[in-house]
A and B are shown apart, each in its own frame.
Chain A
């Protein structure tokens, strides 16, 4: 187990290095610069002003030198300063991170809490009326564009019914105590829903097919023969086996959630990492783009590693190297 962990960690280092090289050269070689803005920006200082800005940002140095400087500082946990407001990149990330974690954490917990029971009930009786209806509904959710769902939910709950706020993280005049919490929850409801349903559909379909397959297998039949109830056979015998592939894929759910976060945070004006990343790209804020890319790469690699370790811990065949 330790050797496996060490080998995985050793492999993660070249992977991380590869990601930083790709992102670094992509942003630096792309047309446009922090000084001239995007390809068709009107904000375009020229002459001495542009010269001095270039020197200030270190953009007058050759590319390999800039990369060496950046990576050696990054290795010491110094991600540099944002070009936009000259605050440390780590400070701006630190402000946005809790907001994104709150949004995505809630979405993930909610998705699993609904998807697993749904998958067990549907997979327990394949082709039943419930299985067919839930299957069709999940399929529809799976194909639904996040931003469309967001716009429809806003139209219904915020504009028509006036039940929930249109966007933002809290009201300007949010009360304290209970009122403050209620205000927070009201602001969370729509963005969390938008981030939840895709993961929910994905996981529920996986659990359903896993349970359906396990339900007809010998060990579940044996449990039934020993007198276990249908419910017990499904939940304690079929489900754990169906959860193994879910565990493996949870590592991939994190990048999917972060992707969704960009759109959801943009629509709901949520001051999180996704919006920060999008704004940084538009502003050609190289240090912010690089810092955020590094952070997400580390996070997703860690999540994949954790998922694999959990799989190894749960499945002796993986642990002993008998199966991939």
Chain B
């Protein structure tokens, strides 16, 4: 079903959008901070927040604010690309299942169900810890473990629209199946998929942070917010700022993406706040 998409975003979602834009701007200027983020000064290690170091310093005396800013692009980029992988795989599997029907649908639906009911972090940890550590591994691990939700939406949407007149007309005109799926069904199934993908970005950022926090995420020298946080438990008795600030950046980002996704959902479905 195609719906009127051109609705106004709710106010909260517009604030969230502004936060997301601001975060990407921070990411754009972050190279300025990369020098300060790497400067090791043992004479000022674990210094509490002050005017010179608003977020304090870490266990090697590096400025925490600079480190949090420097980690912004990698955290955002991994979230976005992993969600994109998830969306592409999810649409391919879900749309194929919905369009083909029959045995294909039965088999693929089983697969989707398996993915949905297996603890995501178990599979994610296995992939991330067993494959050679690299940004690509992290992106693929997250994308390949979270596509099931996207697939379910894609399947449901394709089932709804595959027998509408324009899809039948394309079939009657002799269009090949992949062409019908991508040219005719994808654009019309897009609104719920975009919502799912927007939630996916928040989740992917969180997943990357969890992996890096557990020590199986990005390899050094790449540092994400989760990677900075992984040092916090060791110094929990003396340096609360190590836990507070990187986590706050992570929380703000995830909340902004989720709020944006929620706003998109409200804007693309009739009835406003119905689930």
Chain A positions near chain B (C-beta within 8 angstroms)? 11, 14-15, 18-19, 23, 26-27, 30-32, 38-39, 126, 139-140, 142-148, 151-152, 154-155, 158-159, 166, 205-206, 209-210, 212-213, 245, 251-252, 255-256, 258-260, 262-263, 266-267, 277-278, 281-282, 284, 289, 292-293, 296-297, 300-301, 303-304
Contacts and interface: CB of A to CB of B under 8 A. Distances in A.
14 contacts: A15-B110, A15-B114, A31-B132, A158-B236, A159-B237, A252-B116, A255-B117, A262-B125, A281-B125, A282-B129, A296-B118, A297-B117, A300-B117, A300-B118
Size band of the B side of the interface? 35 or more
Given A151-B229, A151-B243, A259-B121, A210 B275 contact: yes
B240 interface: yes
B210 interface: yes
A205 B262 CA distance: 12
Given A143-B258, A155-B236, A209-B273, A148 B117 contact: no
Contact of B122 (A148, A262, A266): A262
Contacts of A32: 130
A251 B118 CA distance: 11
B6 interface: no
A297 B129 CA distance: 20
B133 interface: yes
Interface stretch (B38-46, B188-196, B244-252): B244-252
- The dominant DSSP class at the A interface is helix
B153 interface: no
A221 B275 CA distance: 21
Contacts of A38: 129
A155 B243 contact: yes
Contact of A148 (B113, B125, B133, B250): B250
A112 B201 CA distance: 28
Given A18-B110, A148-B250, A30 B131 contact: yes
B185 interface: no
B222 to A, nearest CB: 15
Contacts of B125: 262, 277-278, 281
A289 B126 contact: yes
Given A251-B117, A262-B125, A278-B125, 12 more contacts: A126-B273, A143-B254, A143-B258, A145-B247, A151-B236, A155-B243, A255-B118, A262-B214, A278-B214, A282-B216, A297-B118, A300-B118
B232 interface: yes
Contacts of B116: 252
Nearest to A212: B273
A11 B254 CA distance: 37
A30 B273 CA distance: 45
Contact of B247 (A31, A151, A289, A303): A151
Nearest to B254: A143
